[in-house]
Amino acid sequence: MNAQDRLRDTRGMTLIELLVATVMALTVLTISLAFFNSQAQSLKAGTGQFVLTQNYRLALGTLASQVRALGSNLAAGQPYLVYAGPDVLVFNADMVTDDPNNPFAVSVDTAAPRSEIEALQLADKFTLPGTSFAYPSTSYNTKGINSGAETFIFQFAPDTSTARTDDFFLLRQVNRGAPSVVARNILRTLGQPFFEYLYPQTAANGTISIQKYSNVILTHAAATHGSQPDLNAAIDSVRGVRVNLTATDGTVGARERTRAVSRTILLPNAGVAPLESCGETPQLGTALSATPSAAGLPPEVALRWNASTDETAGEKDVLRYVIWKRKSGDPWGPPELSIPAGVATYSYVDTQVSPGQSYDYALAAQDCTPLISTQSTVSVTLP
């Protein structure tokens, strides 16, 4: 190979070749940028759709699951609906208990604060959030025992944490506890309130139609539900709640995505009067036995008893058994636990005991009033 050939092999790109390569690179870059921009827009749209869907599902799902329990396990005279307004809904329900053996509550949370698992007392009276209505005006007790049905407050309130002036968040509050946010990025559906209240109406020919209270405020005129002048109150005719809202993805302008949704929640417990008496005080008719563990074994006491007289016969109205416990010589305190009725023989093993200590136990049957039978007591000393 001569010198001219070697020189030809080591020369660089011509100007035309460089221009062609640059154009090709720019074309590939433009296509790539367009593709990635399209993917980014799709991802943004998908995220917005997810946020929008999550907002209304959280709001409607929470309302549907909890409002449906309205009216559960109320004391006599305790209203199921407390306040029914366009933006605020307040009701009573025995939603939560800290007693794992409570057969009446909807759910169990052993860590729930006592202030949020029982009814408000007269001493707790306060103005409901978002209203000028004060509640309660009396205490709701059954045979001296406070009702287990707590008060729930759901409120669509303006969200002042955003730059918008038309968005709301859904707040949930139990009794006088701190409100918590259920969902954000909620708008009012044009021409509709957040809450509407449905009631049946019977025509002269017997035909039943569903009517609604819209953009009104319904409350009770008397402290005790069903008493004068509360008889035939409009709020007591409500049998369903319709929720109307528009969810947004949180953006503004032309790219904002919204969806208007409605859901009707039926109230199966509305209008169901609680029993004030199941009859006479239940008869226990059985003895409680307590057997300590043997020496050298982990300390425990095995409690046993048979079904009461009024569970299997008689009035057949026993719903549960209540057990008290104390160190021997101490005064009796509140019940240690309750166990639902429904079997022929019962047992419970108490492991919260200490070696060498003496304990007293008491057992009673309880009906739906809830009246309590006389107690059967027993003492035991651990080795």
The token pair at 296 is 């050298």
**Chain-centre distance for alpha carbon 178:** 15
- Please name the residues in contact with 135: beta carbons below 8 A apart, sequence gap of 6 or more: 82, 83, 90, 120, 125, 126, 128, 151
**Residue 22: is its pLDDT beyond 60?**
yes
Contact 253, 48 (CB under 8 A): no
Q: 289-381 maps to which CATH number?
A: 2.60.40.10
pLDDT band at 149 (very low <50, low <70, confident <90, very high): very high
* The pLDDT value given to residue 180: 96
pLDDT band at 30 (very low <50, low <70, confident <90, very high): confident
Residues 286-304 have a mean pLDDT of 95
How many Å apart are CA 298 and CA 140, to the nearest integer? 43
Q: Where are the domains of the chain?
A: 49-266, 289-381
* The pLDDT value given to residue 42: 53
- How confident is the model over 161-217, as pLDDT tens digits? 888 889 999 999 999 999 999 999 999 999 999 999 999 998 888 888 999 999 999
Q: Give the lowest-confidence range in 40-54, 55-69, 250-264.
A: 40-54
**Chain-centre distance for alpha carbon 46:** 30
The token pair at 64 is 């549907």
**Residue 329: is its pLDDT beyond 80?**
yes
Contact 220, 198 (CB under 8 A): no
**Residue 140: is its pLDDT beyond 60?**
yes
**Residue 281: is its pLDDT beyond 90?**
no
How many Å apart are CA 308 and CA 217, to the nearest integer? 48
46 versus 167: the higher-pLDDT residue is: 167
How many Å apart are CA 70 and CA 150, to the nearest integer? 10
∠ CA(272), CA(277), CA(282), 5° rounding? Answer: 135
Residues 312-320 have a mean pLDDT of 85
> Alpha-carbon dihedral of residues 368, 113, 61, 73, nearest 10 degrees?
10
| Beta partners for residue 338, in sequence order | 322
> Phi, psi at residue 23, to the nearest 5°?
-60, -45
Q: Which residue has the tokens 């800290």?
A: 98
> Alpha-carbon dihedral of residues 159, 160, 166, 171, nearest 10 degrees?
20
**Residue 46: is its pLDDT beyond 70?**
no
- Burial of 140: CB neighbours in 10 Å, binned 0-12, 13-18, 19+: buried
